[in-house]
Structure 1
């Protein structure tokens, strides 16, 4: 069982009355963002060590609990130790830490005590020093006994620092921080302005690890440019996704009216907008809107392809285009089920990628050839996904 441990103790330097954990970050508070990282890593329980329960912190804890994760707010290490199962593994994030899912996943697996570290020369003054000219990079995997050991010490000790020293004495393994993590916003901040600046970098990096060439080449650059200003202006992800869905419907209507090229371009653009909207909903902690945006991102390409197949068959007087469209949608749906995002190869297709293939062929005047090529691409992706599943079985 993986349990997350968060800290809401330090106050911000520029606003001493405000806890760093409750500062705005990505449309939510920093501690909510950290909790989402822990939940994504597999934590079913999160323990929050607090100095004082402010109204902002109480609201944040309540919102974290609504995501289906058990949340316990405690005031000292003794209370934290009581909340932990003896066989649990602790995944610890430092107070004020900003990072990404990929970095947290580095320590989310099985194993003993481990600290994520970076060379002291690269750390500046942001990270606490540990042995071997290294500094703690803010993420750790620990045995629950470390909390029990800290609980036996006087309560006025700094729990986070003492926990780090206890892990060092237990000869915790040092794992190096990925080289590009700091460039992607990883760091510890207790200054509101600096946190906001680092947050913009971290938001842009959220989409950098997307799988699939369509997401990497088209969605990621657009999201990196659009997400920070959208979050700053508090744009709701549901509104962006609704705009994308409306654009997709307009594309399907244009195809039905005989404007195939215009309609397919509108539908492809809609896929980009929907991907950004779903990502924005995830950042703003809007799970229903996120799921709706992701579902619309699959439905729009399917609708556009089916309308194109029906329209092309109606014009030619045969059913070949419609059969190809139906086959493409079926193969794409099976490939989507067989190849979840975490195992996808960069060359594998996706619903927007198949639509783009069809759109490019249609722009060249070969709509049926585009459907056939996209169907073959979906079949190849499905085959690769099945072979991967067989190797894992």
Structure 2
């Protein structure tokens, strides 16, 4: 069982009495983002270590609790030890720490009594010195037994620092902070303006997690540009799906009126909206809606290809285009259903209308359909071979 222990005691540097943990971050508060990362790693119980409870913190805790996870506010190591499950592996997140899912997963699945460290003491990721050559990077995994040890110490000791010292004295293992997390802005931040800038770096890293060539070269740059702006403006969860629905409807109307190229362009804009909306939903902790938008991307791609094939068949007075479209969609669907993944060159749902669009704009939809049908069949063949090798 994984549990989380998040520290939320320090005040913001530029917000008066506000806690740094309640500063805005990515369309939510920093502590909600930290909780989101822990829940994503399988944490079933969260403990929030506080010195005082502000209205903003209480509201954030209530929002976290709506996800159906057990959550407790604790004021001391003694309270934390009493609330923690005796067999839990507890993932500690330092006060005001901005990090990534990659770093949290690395520590969440480590053995208890493990510290995440780095060598540069001057780095923003440095929280406290561990030894002569390393500093703590703000993440740790420990057993409930360690909490009981700390609970037996005087209450006036700083909880977070005491925890670190006890774990170090117990001979904790060390893992290095992932380089990708460091590049993405991992570190402690209590200034609202600097936190917003660091949040943009984390959001950009989130968009970079997709590796298929359509995402890498087309949709990820769009998401990297749009995601911070959408998060900062608090765009509602239905915003991206609604925009995608309108764009898809417009694309179908354009194809029906004989402008297949314009229809594909609108469909690609719909896919871009869902691609960004899916990341925004994930960031806000709504995995169900994020997954639904990912699936909608495949549905829109299939509709766009089939609509283009149907329109081309009417124009050319032959069934060849629609047959090619059906072949492409069927092959792509079987590839996705197989669950096999390999090289970046594989076809993906978003890639097929992207390839087809230039042909349709030039008036050669049938040629584009032939290309994507062949591409989908080659990808399906690669998927089959990958599965055979694993069998």
Q: Write the deviation string for residues 159-210 of structure 1: whole angstroms up to 9, x where unpaired.
A: 2111111221122222112234333221101222322222222222221222
Matches of 1:389 and 1:164, distance apart in 2 = 46
Matches of 1:246 and 1:347, distance apart in 2 = 30
Counterpart of 1:20 in structure 2 is 20
CA contact (8 A) 2:47 2:74 kept: yes
Larger deviation, residues 376-385 vs 327-336: 376-385
Q: Are positions 1:174 and 2:183 aligned together? A: no
Change (3 A) 1:7 1:305: same
CA contact (8 A) 2:335 2:383 kept: yes
CA contact (8 A) 1:44 1:69 kept: yes
Please give the root-mean-square deviation of Cα atoms over the aligned residues, in Å. Answer: 2.5
Change (3 A) 1:17 1:347: same
Q: Write the deviation string for residues 369-391 of structure 1: whole angstroms up to 9, x where unpaired.
A: 43343234334444555665666
Matches of 1:314 and 1:380, distance apart in 2 = 28
SS in 1 for 2:296: helix
CA contact (8 A) 2:150 2:162 kept: yes
Counterpart of 1:357 in structure 2 is 355
Counterpart of 1:34 in structure 2 is 34
CA contact (8 A) 2:6 2:95 kept: yes
Deviation at 1:303, TM superposition (A): 1.1
SS in 2 for 1:351: coil
CA contact (8 A) 1:142 1:167 kept: yes
Larger deviation, residues 380-389 vs 163-172: 380-389
Counterpart of 2:155 in structure 1 is 155
SS in 2 for 1:181: helix
Matches of 2:384 and 2:180, distance apart in 1 = 33
Deviation at 1:251, TM superposition (A): 1.3
CA contact (8 A) 1:241 1:277 kept: yes
Question: How many residue pairs get matched?
Answer: 391
Counterpart of 1:2 in structure 2 is 2
Matches within 5 A, 1:44-83: 44-83=44-83
Matches of 2:366 and 2:211, distance apart in 1 = 28
Deviation at 1:280, TM superposition (A): 2.5
CA contact (8 A) 1:237 1:278 kept: no
**TM-score, normalising length from structure 2?**
0.90
SS in 1 for 2:72: strand
Matches of 1:135 and 1:273, distance apart in 2 = 41
Counterpart of 1:211 in structure 2 is 211
Matches of 1:388 and 1:69, distance apart in 2 = 38
Deviation at 1:125, TM superposition (A): 8.5
Matches of 2:134 and 2:28, distance apart in 1 = 32
Matches of 1:385 and 1:149, distance apart in 2 = 52
Larger deviation, residues 300-309 vs 120-129: 120-129
Counterpart of 1:304 in structure 2 is 304
Larger deviation, residues 175-184 vs 116-125: 116-125
Counterpart of 2:321 in structure 1 is 321
Counterpart of 2:282 in structure 1 is 282
Deviation at 1:304, TM superposition (A): 0.8
Q: Write the deviation string for residues 229-280 of structure 1: whole angstroms up to 9, x where unpaired.
A: 2222323342233123211221122112211111112211221122122223
Change (3 A) 1:150 1:379: farther
Counterpart of 1:368 in structure 2 is 366
Matches of 1:304 and 1:124, distance apart in 2 = 47
Counterpart of 1:240 in structure 2 is 240
Change (3 A) 1:321 1:168: same
Q: Are positions 1:347 and 2:321 aligned together? A: no
Counterpart of 1:293 in structure 2 is 293
Matches of 2:84 and 2:233, distance apart in 1 = 40
Deviation at 1:136, TM superposition (A): 0.8
Matches of 2:390 and 2:103, distance apart in 1 = 24
SS in 1 for 2:174: strand
Matches of 1:283 and 1:326, distance apart in 2 = 35
CA contact (8 A) 1:245 1:300 kept: no
Matches of 2:29 and 2:254, distance apart in 1 = 42
**TM-score, normalising length from structure 1?**
0.90
Counterpart of 2:165 in structure 1 is 165
Matches of 2:336 and 2:44, distance apart in 1 = 26
SS in 1 for 2:86: coil
Larger deviation, residues 91-100 vs 280-289: 280-289
CA contact (8 A) 2:30 2:96 kept: yes
Gaps of 5+ in 2: none
